[in-house]
Structure 1
């Protein structure tokens, strides 16, 4: 497994990713170029934008890189979302 993930036309080191948006961007501006894209926040306050496929692949790579998801906790209500 590579420590890099390709997002759009960029190879991003997984360790630079701070968080990944769970919902696509929507601001309502007529000239917005990011509608429907997912924000990926990097360290140093930088952001890049991913399409749905890149977003899903990045999340999978992050989970694998960190050892995968553990067993679900009894109090885990994430499935309710």
Structure 2
């Protein structure tokens, strides 16, 4: 398994990913070129922009890289994490 994932034309190290947007970008600006893309936020306030397929693949890669832990609400015992 690689620790790199291809987003747009960039090989992104999974350990640099801080968060992945759940909804596509929409700002309403007429000249916006990121409408409909998902932001993948990296360390040091950098971002890359992914289409839906890349975003879904990034989430799968992150989950596999972390050992398939899943989201906190996937707990089979029903215990909720206290954030």
TM-score tier (shorter): 0.7 to 0.9
Determine helix, strand or coil for the equivalent of 2:36: coil
| 1:26-48 C-alpha deviation (Å, 9 max, x unpaired) | 00111100000000000011011
Deviating above 2 A after TM superposition, structure 1's stretches of 4 or more consecutive aligned residues are: 69-73
Alignment match, 1:65: 65
Structure 1: 5+ residue runs without aligned partners? Answer: 77-81
Alignment match, 2:24: 24
Aligned mates of 1:60, 1:17 — CA distance in 2:
13
Determine helix, strand or coil for the equivalent of 2:39: strand
Give the deviation of 1:75 after TM superposition. Answer: 4.9
| Corresponding pairs, count | 76
TM-score with structure 1 length normalisation?
0.87
Across the aligned residues of Structure 1 and Structure 2, the Cα RMSD in angstroms comes to: 1.5
